[in-house]
A = this chain, B = another copy of it.
Amino acid sequence: MASEKGVTPRSEDYSRWYTDVVQMARLADYAPVRGCMIILPYGYELWEAVRSGLDRRFKETGHQNAYFPLFIPESFLKKEAEHVEGFSPELAVVTIGGGKELEEPLIVRPTSETIIGWAYAKWIQSYRDLPVLINQWANVVRWEMRTRLFLRTMEFLWQEGHTAHATYEEAEEETRRILDLYADFAVNDAAIPVIKGRKSNQEKFAGALHSYAIEAMMGDKRALQAGTSHNLGQNFAKAFNIQYLDVNNELQYCWTTSWGVSTRMIGAIVMVHGDDKGLRLPPRMAPIQVVIVPIYRQDAEIEPVMETVRRLQAILKDAGIRVHVDDRDDQTPGFKFNDWEMRGVPVRLEVGPRDVQQGTVALARRDVPGKAGKQFVPQAGLVETIRALLEDIQANMLRQATEFRDSNLFEVAGDYGRFGEIVESGGWALTWFCGDRACEEKIKEDHQLVSRCFPLDQPHPGEHGPCIVCGEQATAMAYFARAY
């Protein structure tokens, strides 16, 4: 029970704070294989919440789930030139199967564009078969050198959507629809404000025409790409011969997209909301929304207290509120308070002997520390009280995260020195950027960071400005910041 000790303060060592929270809140643990992790039950419940929040949105927008093989023939990867170049340093390769050396090695999928491209070429014949809107929930493997729990692991869980369309416009519309869907999930379920934007050519997905992402600011102000949506153009369609007969009976290449969100999202939730007491979970995602801690000093008090506790538990559960009773008899209430604060439960409900007599309970909200976050309320109407409180916590967490983020965004035009000060102090600089490789390389050399995205919501739409590096007229502003 590490929670008696507490986590490393964020100000002391943010990176250690993160690892402490993930382990002490029992979200994940290290595995015996380098770079892999074990997702513990509490972390997996959070993943189930991510999964159901996204899956519902995918289905509402006409997508279906399917499942494609884990193994991809090595030859498939090589069919799209940029794709193989991007992924080949990161591959895990099966060379032995059933005791024998394989004739063609099998790649453990790092992503599935190629094998799904093969299938789509087989399935799609005519414009009547389009669009194909398929998603898969799966594990993927990328041989990463420097790994961190949830943020970058050799194996991770994710969803990958793969769609095929008749026209560029439809593919682009899908790519943007998914970006909006991701942002809707991040903001409304995970209480994470995100910036929707287009990646620079240097930072786009290997094989894409262009890539979009949602970018979020973590508690240390670094950026984290929390979801990506790619318009693959006809690149994979040409590599895998995904063609259809159009209404005029002419053969055309399809336009395809792909998009993904991974277990990384859990790292984002930890880093956006956590504090020096540990995790803080937005109520809509929290596996436990209300933890009930019974309080008693004498044995004679146990029965009446527990009777009330069980009654309130049943009432909340029936109302669809995720409630847990901490009835451990070998721990003090103080220990339990710390433990559930560490685990980020939004509301703690205390029931003591006086509450039993007076028909009250004490409520403590995780997002407001100390006495200010505590209130005594009647047991009557508890469901409504708690529903309103959970809504308020959800809104407050989004507000806090948005305010923190907004106070660290800085617009800078033409002044490379000022640009450097902003990004070196950890802020995000929004600046005119021509998007050229040379300019991005220069910034990378000077400041060890690259562009995050050209936000879709531009501050000066239709205007031009001098690129922060080369001074040529640029048509859009981009964010630059250190990132995970």
Contact = CB atoms under 8 A, between A and B. Distances in A.
A249 B76 CA distance: 58
A44 interface: yes
A307 interface: no
A409 to B, nearest CB: 36
A38 B70 CA distance: 10
A71 B155 contact: yes
Contact of A69 (B36, B70, B88, B94): B36
A113 to B, nearest CB: 14
Interface residues of A, number: 56
List the number of copies, as a whole number.
2
A335 interface: no
Contacts of A32: 73, 76, 115, 118
Given A64-B44, A69-B37, A119-B38, A95 B97 contact: no
B97 A94 contact: no
A72 interface: yes
A436 to B, nearest CB: 30
Interface string A12-39: 0000000000000000010111001111
Interface stretch (A2-10, A137-145, A208-216, A438-446): A137-145
A150 to B, nearest CB: 12
A29 B119 contact: yes
A300 B362 CA distance: 67
A41 interface: yes
Which 6 pairs, one residue from A and one from B, show the smallest C-beta to C-beta distance?
Answer: A98-B143, A41-B64, A36-B69, A39-B67, A93-B96, A31-B69
Interface of A: 29, 31-33, 36-41, 43-45, 47-48, 64-73, 76, 88-99, 105-106, 108, 115, 118-119, 122, 128, 134, 138-139, 141, 143, 145, 154-155, 157, 330
